[in-house]
Structure 1
């Protein structure tokens, strides 16, 4: 993107820091398909312990960890329950149908946050006409919900319901550390509520590649074989795993800076005439709706001309995401551009 200096498209655009590059270049590696890469093993063990889970599996992407989990927890003709905004449904290429041959029951939670009261009526009875309800998937934070996040107090009753009804519970933790920093919850408590957790390293934490799937030892043994069938077996993957370890050690607590930056952008957007509303900012995602007469794609184009990259997120919505490659000076400059942008309305 020539001319773009302030990249707010996503927190996936970050580059490794000098310290992360050093950790990558000095990593001890082996063939991970043979189980011989000690740095990969260290990352998997570290994250499993962090979330009080038995085992972990390093994969190239969060889409892969989510789809492996869904395949582990379902059989063909089963049904997955999730919100209609869920990444596993909207942005993973139809993988639930393609890989697991399962259908999806969609809920409509406020900002993507679903509750036991929404879930229970959608759990199918044992009836020859219905798919078997076998899995509930939560997303934390909710991308389409503007970074809204679950508190553990909201997760516990969903876990209880799933236990009573015999369903598995998986967490798409694409930005789980953003949620933990925002809520003050401890990751140690997550293991008791979820059968599977996907932890992404390449978003807010700033690693270049990778997610880790967490679960029981039995589930991860199954997941290893599914990963192989998906083409996700990697060899000297420790170079990538080292970046993840560095990110966990150095980039978690600083996420609060990204959250503050997002709130500052939100405050500026609320002051301009071309924005009609901004979703409440909980973490590092800002989603705003353009006012009547303006076009989201036009706003994005004009911001790009001024040096800000962001994305349309619907016909009338725009998304901005803060991350560790954005300094306070860059955010101040972005705010100045937002406040002085004068797009033309098209009635």
Structure 2
């Protein structure tokens, strides 16, 4: 196993800072399962206000947030509309199908962003032998769309359509605060577009774990029951909730720096004739290599030998993610090392 001096594989690789650890050590705690943990209660209240929702629920992971949202919104035999490159389809062990009995209808979408017109085509006719379209699923930002930000006008169009057609709309907020910082759109404006939304704490915000799912009182009441069923209820969870509170106070502004580092990395790679690099909107950089000498996995291996971690997406495609534990100097070194190896 390699030890990476510079880890660009994901923003989940962040290590809690000394200040965050101190906040965790000093956290007021209680029985979260009985709503007796002051730090958890403060965190969910803060996030529900941030997202403009009535109530929120602290959960161990974003994947559980997505799964619980599907379980609340859908019944067996229902159908979810999602982008063909969504995390829900590619990276959640088919939880929606395995546990909720709901199937997903993928919509071909450039950078993972689709329109209300595309959804109108994808919605099933009301026939006894067809699945019932129930939920529109949106990922903000779009991971495999290169960190693309959903424009607020597109989300508002989808929200209007979903309400007219009696569909639920859910936002996977794995990198929602990156979208807020990158677009200047308030988090509440995104929240107003959907019936449920969650905010991840363990990516760019630098926490060791956790996500917060928000929605109406009725939605969260149903979600809380699923949290118990899935084994997601915790005891003195304030220790990790305190990390989330610290992050919301101290780490949001740093996301803009992460975006700048991603742009710097992409610009440095674009000078190499063997590299075709995408246009990063936030903190994700996808780049394609065209080399007779090596493929993506071989390049990642060579980088690992020099203590640099990077993600492999296909035989030619790689992903780099900037975060608070990657400095500008680290980004420069990683880009220069890639160019040198490809030379």
CA RMSD of aligned residues (A): 1.1
Q: In the alignment, which residue of structure 2 is the partner of 1:307?
A: 307
Structure 1 residue ranges, 4+ long, deviating more than 4 angstroms after superposition: none
Provide, for residues 222-268 of structure 1, a one-character-per-residue CA deviation record: whole Å limited to 9, x for no partner. 00010110110000000000000100110101101110111111112
Contact 1:268 1:338 in 2 (8 A): no
Return the offset for 1:339: 3.0
Deviations 1:171-211 (Å, cap 9, x if unpaired)?
A: 00100000111100001222321100011000010011000
Q: Give the TM-score normalised by the residue count of structure 2.
A: 0.97
Match status 1:80 vs 2:80:
yes
Name the structure 1 match of 2:32: 32
Partner of 1:9: helix, strand, or coil? coil
User: In structure 2, what is the Cα distance between the partners aligned to 1:305 and 1:267?
Assistant: 24
Structure 1 position 292, deviation (Å):
5.0
> Could you tell me how far apart the structure 2 residues matched to 1:109 and 1:279 are?
16
> Does the CA-based 8 Å contact 1:258-1:283 persist in structure 2?
yes
User: Structure 1-normalised TM-score?
Assistant: 0.96
What whole-Å deviation, never above 9, does each CA across 1:290-329 have from its counterpart, x for those lacking one? 1153411111111112221101112210000000001222
| Structure 1, gaps ≥5 residues long | none
Please list, as runs of the form range in 1=range in 2, the aligned pairs for 1:145-160 lying within 5 A after superposition. 145-160=145-160
Structure 2's unaligned 5+ residue stretches are none
| Equivalent position SS for 1:29 | coil
The residue that corresponds to 1:170 in the other structure is 170
Matched, 1:233 2:233: yes
For residue 15 of structure 2, what is the aligned residue in structure 1? 15
Residues 1:283 and 2:282 are matched in the alignment: yes
Displacement of 1:3 after TM fit?
4.5
Q: Retained in 1: the 8 A contact 2:2–2:307?
A: no
State the 1:331 CA deviation. Answer: 1.8
Answer yes or no: is the 8 Å Cα contact 1:83–1:106 preserved in 2: yes
Which residue does 1:63 correspond to in 2?
63
* Alignment CA distance shift 1:74-1:127 (3 Å): same
Question: Does the Cα contact within 8 Å between 2:262 and 2:284 map onto a contact in 1?
Answer: yes
* Mapped contact 1:151–1:185 kept (Cα < 8 A): no
CA contact (8 A) 2:83 2:114 kept: yes
Residue 53 of structure 1 corresponds to 53
Q: SS of the residue aligned with 1:265?
A: helix
Aligned residue for 1:198, secondary structure, equals strand
Tell me what 1:272 maps to: 272
1: distance between equivalents of 2:340 and 2:174? 34
- Count of aligned pairs: 342
- 2: CA distance, partners of 1:291 / 1:2: 26
In structure 2, the residue matched to 1:108 is 108
Distance 2:167 2:315 in 1: 36
